[in-house]
A and B are shown apart, each in its own frame.
Chain A
Amino acid sequence: MAEITYICKRTVVSTKPTQPGKYHSFSVLDHLMEKNHIRIVYYCKSWGEKEAGEITVSLRESISEMLTHFPKVTGRLIRNEKGNWMIKCNDAGVRMVEARAKGSVEDWLKIVDREKELKLVYWEDMIHKPYFWSTFYVQAWADKTLGQKMVSPPFFHPLPPRRPINKTSNHKPYADLINHYKFSIENSIPLLDANHTHTTITLSFSDHMVQACMDMVQPTSAPNKPNRPSSPFEALAGLLWICISKVKGLRNGLVNMSLCLDQRKVLGLDKGFFGNCMVCNKVHSNGLEEHNLSQATKVIGEALEKMDNEGIMDLIEWLKHNDSYSHPLMNNCDLICASLETAEPYSVDFVGGFEPIRVSYYVEPTIGIGQVLIFRAPSYDGPLGRVVMVTLPKDEIVKLCEDELILHLSPRILMGVARNHA
């Protein structure tokens, strides 16, 4: 029904020229994300009787202003002497593609699926040419569109050094985190073009659904052990871990899963820090025979706790020392469960008072076991509301939708499996 007509491709530059001759190198965490890319779709309501062209003009103007604050985004990737990527801030600008889709946003959202949605995000494989298709701070862009000052201006600086603390005499580096990365790097499966067998669904858990899930997590036994209440992320991650394990046919035990979280707070960085802060950790499922939600969630909670400042600092130092590894793909052996909660997609406001109707994230390439992305839901779903995007092979997704735990919580299916129709 909805065709997408490609209108044009152009370059948008910042409003002020950048200082020539500046370079920005990536941190070790940035380098790890080299093979990954993320595609995001924001659906916004258009307010008032504006022509489609007018909105793009004002968006272009605001992105120009915003780019003045992000000279690294308008630069280009080049390789430095060590063979790693770095950015040359040459003020070249950001490529923008404009297209028009027929039909209204609401109609589109009813029939959209992974394939169709990905068509909305323009992608070109830049294999040989060192050009930079940037993903940038959409929040800052939105703030600028309304003529406001940016709420969190960007910070460009290297990862912070270790916090000076009382050095205890026996300081054992947190081995698990490092081992996980080592294992991933050594066992990375070569990239296969397996994109087309996976599909994605989006489930929306409103406030009370998440509350119900968290209640299910609270263990009924062992009253004398004080339990830390689990966070929505832990609860949902546990839920999906179990469901996906069931779907994959594992009667006892759970699939290998890694958690991936943004560690800005832990590292003491401001929200405006420009760079990758996602750190992954494996969840140990040894000893978990049954599919018990509260136990799974407990294990997840433990893994999250272990990712503290010390542990991450150790990891960063280890990565710096072992710089010679070619940067691998981080999500190819396990089920990745990533929390994008700090991204706050629905607080982005382009049109003055309206949050986006929907936001979709796609982290690519998707191979391996699968992927779960959890992020905050629009405000009408309540503060605990979460949106979960699950990427699995097609047949498993269908089984997942029929899983009893999920049906018990009955989340809203925002985007389902592709229906085969014209």
Chain B
Amino acid sequence: MIRAVIVMNDQGKPRLVKFYEHQPVEKQQEIIRSIYGVLCSRAENVSNFVQADSTFGPDTRLVYKTFATLYFIVIFDDSENELAILDLMQVFVETLDKCFSNVCELDIVFNFNKVHTILDEIILGGQVIEMSSSEVVKAVDGISWLEKNPNSIIRVPKSISGWQGR
């Protein structure tokens, strides 16, 4: 399973922190600091995988990817495929891009709870729900629409919900 998803900027400021196993807040900060220490000292032409045994126990790995000023970091155990996680990060970033049209660090800072909503549509409890960014965008749009029209809770218009009668 995926243990954590972290987004931080190149100064080590956390922008999105999501742990799928409970960690006390001090421990979270310690982990973020230690990851930043590892990442900022990595050379450019090296692989995106780091062994994370010391913080998360045996056989855990960390995959990171840089997008502009941000590090996207996923920590996971041996039941996940490293290369697929790289694709998953790509999907996450593409989705952010669609939701914020040309996403930048500031979008993530000021809309962190929307980013959480997006992430919750991609990963649930450490497992991947959805790998199609258009499906994720559809779900997130539905949620945003409800946010703005809270009174329509009973009759959700057909246009935004992915009805599929059984």
The reply to whether chain A is a binding partner of chain B is: no
| B residues with CB within 8 A of A | none
Q: Spell out A's residues near B (CB within 8 Å).
A: none
